[in-house]
Structure 1
Amino acid sequence: MGFPDGFLWGASTSSYQIEGGNEGSAFTAWERRRGWEPCAEAADSWNRWREDLACLKELGANAYRFSLEWSRLQPSPVDFDEKALSRYVEMARTFKEAGVRPMVCLHHFSEPAWLFERYPLGWLDPRACEAFVRFGDRVVRALRSEVSDWITFNEPMVWLMNGYALGLFPPGLRRIYALERTFLKEGLLENVLRAHRELYRLIHQDIPNGRVAIAQNIVDLEPARPGSADLEALSRWDLFMHRRALDLAASAHTLDFIGLNYYTRIFVSKARLPFVPLRVVPAYAELEQITGSLGLKLLGGRRGDRPRSDMGWEIVPEGLGKVALALWKAYRLPVVVTENGMADGSPDGRERFLKGHLASLEAAIAQGADVRGYLHWSLVDNYEWGSYRPRFGLYGVDRSGSFKRSQASGADYFRRVIAANGVV
């Protein structure tokens, strides 16, 4: 079958996870507080971005999604680092001149420490939204000649759940038992979507042919058991975690395409205990790590039996095509796979992963889904929010001091796929 002409092939990264030296981020102090392995130099991509471009060229990629580090660009509420901004402009221009389309993400989890010093409740305070819009406006105007494709927020629900429900990210609020009140009644999600709407307007004002999206993490959901109870629980979780943000952005006509981040499948069941949020047990690997296998079963949860990645995520290739097709049918907007990948240290696991997922995506396109691109996570091994143990990169990084990039499992296969514009 193959993929359409002009299909975007490439990879994704995020600033905090690969650049290094982002001491102004709220995550830097958070790592010490939580006892995480420090991010430190990461892959040193702030200084070695040309080496990352060489990796993209070796793959034959024609697109690259990267994010801008807010804390680097705006080290204080009143200061803007013009030298750092000039480097991002140079990066985007150089990628573009090399035939690699830059796709820029404005918010990928990391925020300046000063944001929480000023606004301890973070995005529950509308002033955080306003600060981000001012930042976004400044960088969009600087990059408008080089960048047409913009992601306002990467995985907003994952970021908000970690920061405002589970207490795992800054600002560390633990409101899991007040999920709907925090996200909906107190305006958390609305503040994020208000920033998205305003940035959509500003981007189109500065870049008439601009394209704007949200990159939403969507898992393949299955009911844990037959019957209406688990199906109803699945629908509640799908609406809360996946659909509501997209529904509100789409109804405001502020999406030009949808970014899809797909990694795994989970089974969803109705909670047996009345105090469980939304009366839903979404059996993520991370939930099982907290409760243990027995605890998950006592909650009524169920995990799948497919092979798992080094993150514990079940590998379900057909889910990518299923989710992409469902998104197209629901919104009739083009879909770009903005993340898909696996943490894997084996010699051939990533090649099998790619082959299965891309075949699934190819089948979805054959069924009518308007899918415009596939960006693998990640281009290089990255800092995975607390640890360097998971290896997602198509290129490994020697972190002993040289930071040399070297092809990892799956890179040569991906190169052949790109050359053929189809699964090989």
Structure 2
Amino acid sequence: MRLFLLLFLSIPAASSAESSSTSVSRVDFPKGFVFGSGTSAYQVEGAASEDGRTPSIWDTFAHNGNVGGTGDVASDGYHKYKEDVKLMKETGLEGYRFSISWSRLIPRGRGEVNSKGLEYYNNFINELISHGIEPHVTLLHFDLPQVLEDEYGGWLNPRIVDDFTAYADVCFREFGDRVSHWTTINEANIFALGGYGQGILPPKRCSPPFGNCSSGNSIVEPYVVAHHFLLAHSSAASLYKKNYQAKQQGSVGLNLLVFHMLPATNSTADISSTKRAQIFFTGWFMEPLVHGDYPKIMRKAAGKKMPKFSSKQSKQLMNSFDFVGVNYYATVNVVDGPNHVPAYQRDFMGDICANITGLWMSGGRESMEAGMNAPYGLKGVLEYFKQNYGNPPIYVQENGYPMPSNASLDDTPRVKHMSAHLESLLDAVRNGSNTTGFFTWSFVDAFELFGGYSSSYGLYRVDFGDKERKRYPKHSARWYSHFLKRRGNSIYTDKSSSYVPQIY
């Protein structure tokens, strides 16, 4: 019988952002620290079949009814990028994180570059630079070209390493004179688990009893895909360091979604399970990047399912990152519980629980919101990296708070969430964390991977019912602008501020 590890997201109300007040200010952060916001290509660009772009696995996933809507038009960022950059400037953003659509730039996945796609990204980057905003670029945000998935299975095939490296080479060559911050793969750990283990992300691969998909193998595929993620990342990073870094003076990193994990009780079992779960979720990628191999505890649990690195690959991995991108949304509590399923019958989650316990998300909306309103967890995550992985440079590349898409423009809960998490971030930096940037998710409302257009994270509302996709500033946009422009040092609640972003 399969046993799920229970990640209880019930955080005490007294610790939530709703009850927090803060005196954090922009000027409290070190010189060179960058504040920004972000989105990704499929979630905001739209123009899905315009100017030579071909479908990605995310297009296919959405069009098969897995989300509730599609990104065919999304926020229409492809046509409204100048207006959006003007809004960024008025807001005071110092950096903007976005992703490049591989299938827009190279429609066949390899080979000929699409001149229209190249022109769009050049224009967008130039627009950011001309407004004094640092471009932070992600190469892959869940949107592998569908043609490569169809041709050889995409990330399941080692051929993907060469194709990804060639794609990265085009980006470094064409944009690297203006882009100094490169992230190879977004949420590599969750992409592998969700896309190939549970089937809740593109390309929706899984097997019973772990998920309901038309094809896949939940027991093996997440490990194979993660292995190819690491090899593709290190190959692209090696190329950048060899051919471009000395001249372009940029940096390259990999992004992970990281939970702050706490034992549900002070029992030895819960404490041990928490450490084990953190190793599986974070150490799965960080151990190879820092030490050149997967964690021993994972190899023991997964056995032959886990691929091996050659000595050359191991060495290349250990020199492949200048920073780590961290997406932080929630704190979770881990509880112990027995599981004795044989390795060949276990998926990734079962391997975490092997011979001891299990964990996974449990609880309804209230407990999820409690977990997201645990700002101390951000400091905990950054401390974990400092203590376990040599305090690498870190960009917090996503942190956000969801609200219903039809909610009022007065998104005070999001403001309180932002304010409390910035205080937690400052505590971590003052305690020695080598964190160098923070990006809210998201700048404008977007087509969300979970829920489509039913929930929103944006600082700016997008009217998806309006053909023009007009933008409207929320209270959080005004607050963040006030923070970035150093106009105060407390939670900003005056909605009659002299700063009034224009509406497009």
Specify if TM > 0.5.
yes
1:260 paired with 2:291, answer no
1:41 paired with 2:73, answer yes
Q: Aligned with 1:369: secondary structure?
A: coil
Could you tell me how far apart the structure 1 residues matched to 2:47 and 2:37 are? 22
1:319 paired with 2:357, answer no
Query: Partner letter of residue 104 of structure 2?
Result: R
Query: Partner letter of residue 326 of structure 1?
Result: Y
Contact 2:255 2:326 in 1 (8 A): yes
1:132 paired with 2:160, answer no
Could you tell me how far apart the structure 2 residues matched to 1:418 and 1:314 are? 23
Could you tell me how far apart the structure 1 residues matched to 2:339 and 2:150 are? 38
Residue of structure 2 aligned with 1:27, choices 58, 62, 71: 58
Residues 3-30 of structure 1: CA deviation (Å, up to 9, x unaligned): 1122201101100100012251222222
Could you tell me how far apart the structure 1 residues matched to 2:452 and 2:95 are? 27
In the alignment, which residue of structure 1 is the partner of 2:134?
101
Q: Aligned with 1:239: secondary structure?
A: helix
Could you tell me how far apart the structure 1 residues matched to 2:239 and 2:486 are? 38
Q: How many residues align?
A: 402
Contact 2:339 2:358 in 1 (8 A): no
Could you tell me how far apart the structure 1 residues matched to 2:322 and 2:380 are? 21
In the alignment, which residue of structure 2 is the partner of 1:190?
227
Contact 2:138 2:184 in 1 (8 A): yes
CA-CA distance at 1:307 after TM superposition: 4.5
Contact 2:100 2:137 in 1 (8 A): yes
In the alignment, which residue of structure 2 is the partner of 1:387?
452
Structure-to-structure mapping, 1:144-159, within 5 angstroms = 144-159=176-191
Contact 2:193 2:222 in 1 (8 A): no
Could you tell me how far apart the structure 1 residues matched to 2:399 and 2:488 are? 16
Aligned-residue RMSD, C-alpha:
2.2
Deviates more, 1:132-141 or 1:387-396: 132-141
Residue of structure 2 aligned with 1:116, choices 143, 149, 162: 149
1:407 paired with 2:469, answer no
Query: Partner letter of residue 42 of structure 1?
Result: A
**CA pair 271-82 structure 1, distance change in 2 beyond 3 A:** farther
Deviates more, 1:37-46 or 1:235-244: 235-244
Could you tell me how far apart the structure 1 residues matched to 2:467 and 2:255 are? 33
CA-CA distance at 1:144 after TM superposition: 1.4
Query: Identity, % of aligned pairs?
Result: 28
Could you tell me how far apart the structure 2 residues matched to 1:163 and 1:55 are? 34
Residues 17-74 of structure 1: CA deviation (Å, up to 9, x unaligned): 0001225122222223235322220000011111211121111111111100011112
Q: Aligned with 2:335: secondary structure?
A: strand
Residue of structure 2 aligned with 1:57, choices 50, 73, 89: 89
Uncovered stretches (5+) of structure 2, i.e. residues with no partner: 1-23, 50-54, 212-216, 292-317, 342-348, 491-504
Could you tell me how far apart the structure 2 residues matched to 1:39 and 1:196 are? 26
In the alignment, which residue of structure 2 is the partner of 1:13?
39
**CA pair 404-306 structure 1, distance change in 2 beyond 3 A:** closer
Query: Partner letter of residue 139 of structure 2?
Result: L
Residue of structure 1 aligned with 2:436, choices 358, 362, 372: 372
Deviates more, 1:269-278 or 1:6-15: 269-278
Could you tell me how far apart the structure 2 residues matched to 1:74 and 1:219 are? 34
Q: Aligned with 1:410: secondary structure?
A: helix
In the alignment, which residue of structure 1 is the partner of 2:310?
none
Structure-to-structure mapping, 1:169-208, within 5 angstroms = 169-175=201-207, 176=210, 181-184=220-223, 187-204=224-241, 205-208=243-246
Structure-to-structure mapping, 1:345-360, within 5 angstroms = 345=407, 347=410, 348-360=412-424
Could you tell me how far apart the structure 2 residues matched to 1:159 and 1:131 are? 18
Could you tell me how far apart the structure 1 residues matched to 2:237 and 2:487 are? 31
Could you tell me how far apart the structure 2 residues matched to 1:216 and 1:117 are? 26
Could you tell me how far apart the structure 2 residues matched to 1:50 and 1:30 are? 29
Residues 299-345 of structure 1: CA deviation (Å, up to 9, x unaligned): xxxx985844xxxx531111111211222333321111111111123
1:336 paired with 2:398, answer no
Deviates more, 1:166-175 or 1:187-196: 166-175
Q: Tell which structure's C-alpha radius of gyration is larger.
A: 2
TM-score, scaled relative to structure 1:
0.89
